[in-house]
């Protein structure tokens, strides 16, 4: 049985101005009309009820096939909040703790070394081991191999040969292979990564994403299951996320479209195909996956993702099914990075277990969203946030890599602004 996204609600009854809410669709259409994005599928829920569900644009600029609320999207780093959920489920079951050293599950991380500043090629023993929490909060100290200094590339040339095969920096970050590369098992890549020096002592610096491939293997080891099976049995099935998986499920390929990237040609920036839907590894199943989303992450619909988001807003329960305890949800979205600077968000945020949480301090100007709101984005232009103070959930989906390269492509900020201006 297919589960509905969430119950439909009357906008006025849950505290929205219907006229103001109606401004959102036309505003999103303007981005589609200018081909700043191929599509935009948006959802707003308050107090557990949907007050806005809208789909604009096409799944393919070539075919013109329309996007719908049932369309499937590559979520990339919007998978990270689900990685946080998976880790918290294992924590509740006593199978791991956020403070467990990664070496408990992956012994190759038992003797990490850290590069010494201003001493090229020199390393020292790490002050402590990498923890599960470090993986979730992007504070492992692991250096993105794509930006590692040349002298380390030379010193560890044999390791790099096992880690990746001359892939550009963008693909290196995600360990995405070229079309002509033979896939390397994720476990093999993680073993190779453990042989490289850290860029910083664990817990002392923020470097986005690089701990999530490690976390993927930690979850598999702690659960005793392949990660996709664990997610299916413990997240997707209990939450009724019927269309969601790490690959497009059988029979759903018609709902999956192309992913684009802006490219400059003749002085004009245009969208070109980055990953074609029918030949994507998300359809063929020939790629690997990572709970951080680097190889595309989960594939899902706006409604399925809203069910996940509403479960967290409800304190771990949806439709009578409890996935996580209320206090564990509080732990997940709480502050796990203290006063550490988070470059990817700028001031005003701290990092939880798979989510960025807004607190607003030290920010030159406040955001319109409430302190305590949390969520995250994905590389293909997807975005999600939840605002417990307003009992509010927003999801905004498209399929454009590096969407900010397209001029005036501020659809995420516009969507969020239009949601809050519609509150009565």
Q: What is the pLDDT of residues 258-311, one digit of tens each?
A: 999 999 988 899 999 999 999 999 999 877 778 988 777 999 999 999 999 999
CB 169 within 8 A of CB 132: no
CB 71 within 8 A of CB 55: yes
Instruction: State which H helix or E strand residue 282 sits in.
Output: helix 281-284
Give the C-alpha separation, 376 to 297, whole Å. Answer: 13
pLDDT band, very low/low/confident/very high, at 185 (cuts 50, 70, 90)? low
The backbone torsions φ and ψ at residue 181, rounded to the nearest 5 degrees and listed phi first, read -90, 140
Superfamily for the 18-78+226-421 domain:
DD-peptidase/beta-lactamase superfamily (3.40.710.10)
Give the C-alpha separation, 245 to 236, whole Å. Answer: 8
Q: What is the mean pLDDT of residues 206-216?
A: 94
pLDDT band, very low/low/confident/very high, at 169 (cuts 50, 70, 90)? very low
pLDDT over 60 at 182, yes or no = no
Residue-level pLDDT at 172: 40
CB 400 within 8 A of CB 381: yes
Helix pair angle (326-333, 302-313), 10° resolution: 110
Q: What is the mean pLDDT of residues 163-192?
A: 55
Give the C-alpha separation, 313 to 319, whole Å. Answer: 13
Residue-level pLDDT at 170: 33
Lowest mean pLDDT among 6-20, 158-172, 354-368, 378-392: 158-172
pLDDT over 60 at 137, yes or no = yes
The domain ranges of the chain are 18-78+226-421, 86-223
* Cα–Cα distances in angstroms (integers) from residue 32 to residues 57, 200, 407, in the given order: 6, 42, 13
User: Which is it for strands 113-115 and 356-358: parallel, antiparallel or unpaired?
Assistant: unpaired
What pLDDT digit, counting tens, does each position of 231-257 carry? 999 999 999 999 999 999 999 999 999
Give the C-alpha separation, 236 to 249, whole Å. Answer: 13
């Amino acid at each position: 049985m297919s589960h509905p996204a969430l119950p439909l609600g009357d906008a006025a009854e849950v505290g929205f101005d219907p006229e103001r809410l109606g401004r959102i669709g036309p505003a999103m259409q303007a981005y589609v009309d200018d081909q700043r994005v191929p599509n935009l599928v948006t959802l707003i829920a308050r107090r557990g009820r949907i007050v806005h569900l809208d789909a604009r644009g096409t799944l393919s600029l070539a075919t013109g096939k329309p996007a719908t609320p049932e369309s499937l999207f590559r979520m990339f780093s919007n998978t990270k909040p689900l990685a946080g959920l998976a880790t918290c489920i294992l924590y509740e079951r006593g199978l791991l703790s956020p403070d467990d050293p990664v070496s408990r599950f992956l012994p190759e991380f038992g003797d990490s070394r850290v590069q010494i500043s201003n001493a090229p090629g020199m390393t020292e023993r790490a002050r402590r081991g990498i923890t599960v929490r470090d993986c979730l909060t992007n504070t492992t100290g692991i250096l993105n191999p794509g930006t590692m200094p040349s002298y380390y590339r030379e010193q560890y040339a044999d390791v790099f040969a096992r880690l990746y095969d001359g892939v550009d920096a963008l693909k290196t970050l995600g360990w995405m292979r070229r079309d002509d590369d033979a896939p390397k098992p994720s476990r093999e890549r993680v073993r190779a990564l453990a042989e490289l020096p850290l860029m910083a002592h664990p817990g002392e610096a923020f470097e986005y994403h690089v701990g999530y491939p490690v976390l993927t293997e930690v979850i598999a080891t702690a659960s005793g299951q392949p990660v996709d099976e664990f997610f299916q049995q413990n997240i997707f099935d209990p939450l009724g996320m019927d269309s969601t998986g790490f690959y497009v499920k059988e029979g759903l390929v018609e709902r999956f479209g192309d992913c684009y990237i802006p490219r400059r040609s003749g002085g004009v920036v245009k969208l070109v195909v980055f990953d074609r839907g029918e030949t994507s590894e998300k359809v063929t199943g020939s790629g690997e996956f990572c709970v951080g989303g680097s190889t595309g992450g989960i594939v899902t619909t706006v409604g399925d993702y809203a069910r996940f988001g509403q479960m967290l807003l409800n304190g771990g329960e949806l439709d009578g099914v409890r996935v996580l305890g209320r206090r564990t949800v509080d732990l997940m979205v709480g502050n796990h990075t203290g006063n550490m600077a988070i470059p990817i968000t700028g001031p005003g945020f701290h990092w939880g277990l798979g989510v960025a949480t807004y607190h607003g301090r030290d920010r030159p100007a406040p955001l319109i969203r409430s302190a305590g709101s949390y969520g995250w984005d994905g590389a293909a232009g997807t975005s999600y946030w939840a605002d417990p103070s307003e009992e509010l959930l927003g999801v905004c989906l498209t399929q454009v890599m590096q969407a900010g390269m397209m001029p005036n492509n501020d659809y995420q900020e516009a969507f969020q602004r239009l949601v809050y201006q519609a509150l009565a």
